[in-house]
Amino acid sequence: MIEPLTFLVAARDEEQSIAATVEALRERFSDAEVIVADDGSRDATAERAEAAGATVLRLPRRGKGQALSAAERAAPPGPLLLVDADLRGDPSPLLPRETPFHGLRVALFAERQGGGFGIAKRIARALIRLRCGYEAREPLSGQRALSPRARAAVFPLAPGFGAETRMTIDAIRAGVAVEEVELPLAHRATARDVRGFMHRGRQLRDALLATGPLRLNHRGLRLPLVGWTVALHEPVATAIGLADDAWSGPERGFRAHLRAGRTTGVLKLLGIPLYGLVRTRSISGALLVGVAANTLNQLDTRPGRALKAYLALAPLVRAPLALPVLLAPYDLREMAMLGDGGSNGLGALLGLHSVDRITGRGRWAAIAALAGLNLLGEHRSLGELIERTPVLRELDAWGRVR
């Protein structure tokens, strides 16, 4: 039995072109379903797509990769054909004559239209070559046919405009055949103006993030880990946390890690306080660094939660603010996540700066308070307590995409 074909189209503010794109697809593929992921449009994109016969998902603005991932979850089993909302031309040659097929096919535009100086494209090619050895001619093309096997290998996609670059990497690393097919297609090209360069800058940024380490968050979204940037301020504790990002097992909580023995959780439990002891040369300093790191790590279960706690406390102990402020919008919008590296690094940074500002009984009081939060988190979720407390719940949700 041949599984049905589904088209996935990510669209934002495409009311001028989306209806024509959907109508053309439905005319050429009458049995296929067209799913349009409306990525927070402020115009009539959703209404015009529905009127043209598409199934529309109305989403908050999350970026291309996450919009396509939401559409893929809503699609029935079978092959997919991804196309841009402003596509002109016939993408059907992307589907091979033999059915079913088992690979990933990417459209090469036969003629170049507009664009910049090719910097983003060259860097994306280099990133693909570095991560999987594949020489891609067109790393950024959004016109892609995926077999069920390729679909399983690449979804959920990396966020934003890094989706295509990471898709190629994931397919090659999963052993999926990738083929580039030259086709007479066209779409609205960006110009060499401010808007065009900003778009290509976002493409480059997203491709760089997408080719680094990725993890699933609480929603099942696949996000880049950016906590490694905290190593600019605190390299050792961040490196210990990154080991947990890379090699952690299913254990959660101190007791589970201690019962399991040699886990990355035990490494954090012992390594960060020992590092604090070396830095502060005091038992109280070591304890403060350790409990501060673990407290922030326990809070990092929802977007922006750990960063908000850090930003609330950092001015009190004169800890660095610039980098966490820069990371906050990406974390809150679920375009990136701190991971254990970032949360442990920032927590240790708070602890180390607290040692310089808090002495005597005040330090031991801070240790007791944070240790109490740590113990509470062993028995009950700190996040659950926050969500049940009205004022904390509102502060926690502020700025987050819902």
Rounded distance between C-alpha atoms, residue 180 and residue 380, angstroms: 51
Q: What CATH number does residue 38 fall under?
A: 3.90.550.10
> What string of pLDDT tens digits covers the 402 residues of the chain?
467 899 999 999 999 999 999 999 999 888 899 999 999 999 999 999 999 999 999 999 889 999 999 999 999 999 999 999 988 888 888 887 666 678 999 998 866 665 667 788 899 999 999 999 999 999 999 999 999 999 999 999 999 999 999 999 999 999 999 999 988 887 766 666 677 777 788 888 899 999 989 999 888 889 999 999 999 999 999 999 998 888 776 656 656 555 655 677 788 888 999 999 999 999 999 999 999 999 999 999 999 999 999 999 999 999 999 999 999 999 998 989 999 999 999 999 999 999 989 989 999 999 999 999 988 887 788 888 898 999 999 999 998 876
The verdict on 159 and 189 lying in the same domain is yes
Calculate the dihedral angle through the C-alpha atoms of 374, 334, 339, 211, rounding to the nearest 10 degrees: 180
Q: Are 359 and 280 in contact (CB under 8 A)?
A: no
Give the residue from 183, 212, 241 where a domain finishes.
212
Q: 108's torsion region: left (phi>0), alpha (psi -120 to 50) or beta? A: beta
Chain segment 146-157, per-residue pLDDT in tens? 999 999 999 999
User: Which residues are CB-neighbours of 194 under 8 A, at least 6 positions away?
Assistant: none
> How many domains would you assign to the chain?
2
Q: Are 42 and 31 in contact (CB under 8 A)?
A: no
The verdict on 202 and 254 lying in the same domain is no
The verdict on 52 and 187 lying in the same domain is yes
Q: Are 104 and 144 in contact (CB under 8 A)?
A: yes
CB-based burial, 248-262: b 16+ in 10 Å, e otherwise: beebeebeebeeeee
Q: What does the block give as tokens for 35? A: 């799913």
Q: Are 56 and 36 in contact (CB under 8 A)?
A: yes
The verdict on 233 and 344 lying in the same domain is yes
Q: Are 210 and 224 in contact (CB under 8 A)?
A: yes
Residue 82 has what pLDDT? 96
The verdict on 81 and 116 lying in the same domain is yes
| DSSP symbol at 328 | H
The verdict on 179 and 234 lying in the same domain is no
Does residue 241 sit within a domain?
yes
Give the residue from 165, 180, 212 where a domain finishes.
212
Does residue 217 sit within a domain?
no
E-only strand ranges, 1-160: 6-11, 33-39, 55-59, 80-84, 104-109, 144-146
The verdict on 367 and 388 lying in the same domain is yes
The verdict on 78 and 208 lying in the same domain is yes
The verdict on 239 and 373 lying in the same domain is yes
Does residue 1 sit within a domain?
no
Does residue 392 sit within a domain?
yes
Give the residue from 147, 181, 212 where a domain finishes.
212
What pTM value is reported for the model?
0.84
Whole-number CA gyration radius for the chain: 24
Measured between alpha carbons, how far apart are the two ends of the chain, in Å? Answer: 40
Does residue 402 sit within a domain?
no
Does residue 177 sit within a domain?
yes
SS3 state of residue 274: helix
The verdict on 204 and 285 lying in the same domain is no
In terms of residue numbers, what domain contains 285? 222-397
The verdict on 201 and 239 lying in the same domain is no
SS3 state of residue 212: coil
The verdict on 182 and 247 lying in the same domain is no
Chain segment 268-280, per-residue pLDDT in tens? 888 999 999 999 9
